[in-house]
Amino acid sequence: MIMKIELTDENAKLPDYAHEGDAGMDLYAVESVTLQPGERKLVGTGLKIQLPPNTEAQIRPKSGLALKNGITLLNTPGTVDEGYRGEVEVILINHSREAYSVEIGQKIAQMVIMPVTRVTVEKVDHLEDSVRGQGGFGSTGL
């Protein structure tokens, strides 16, 4: 499969896989921003993408950034739909107690390309019973 990419900023870097077999490609910041504790900001990647047919791009946090600095994505995974042609941007949030500065060229997220399955929605009067039923939050124990 081929994903076409347009670079829209002089600081933009193509996403890349850090290791053979990795699921996610690293995404890089094209701007410097400082996140105060509890603050969220939209950070650009300088990328526009054209996904292969029947796929989506999921934008996910970098585990090291989250563990070491308390920086993660506010909506995760974020979804980039196949037909979207705007810049891929990342909503970062600072969950730490200290300000954190993102530098140009820094890894800020990862992008995983996933297949999309579309369904036909059918309205019914009742759903079939299941073993689980309505058991939800904590119903299987902690």
Q: Which residues pair with 118 in a beta bridge?
A: none
Residue 81 is assigned to a ligand binding site? yes
Residue 79 is assigned to a ligand binding site? yes
139: which 2 tokens?
Answer: 């119903």
Architecture category of domain 4-115 in CATH: Distorted Sandwich (2.70)
pLDDT of residue 34: 98
pLDDT of residue 131: 84
**17-68, pLDDT tens digit by residue?**
999 999 999 999 999 999 999 999 999 999 999 999 999 999 999 999 999 9
Residue 9 is assigned to a ligand binding site? no
CA–CA gap between residue 53 and residue 46 (Å, rounded): 22
Residue 22 is assigned to a ligand binding site? no
Residue in the structure block whose two tokens are 């009067």: 125
**72-93, pLDDT tens digit by residue?**
999 999 999 999 999 999 999 9
Q: Kindly tell me if the per-residue pLDDT of 135 is higher than 80.
A: no
**DSSP symbols for the chain:** ---EEEE-STT----B-SSTT-S-EEEE-SS-EEE-TT-EEEEEEEEEEEPPTTEEEEEE--HHHHHHH-EEESSSSEEE-TT--SEEEEEEEE-SSS-EEE-TT-EEEEEEEEE---------SSPPP-SSTT--TTTT--
Chain-centroid distance, C-alpha 12:
17
| pTM assigned to the model | 0.89
Distances (CA, A) of 45 to 4, 40, 48, 135: 15, 16, 9, 41
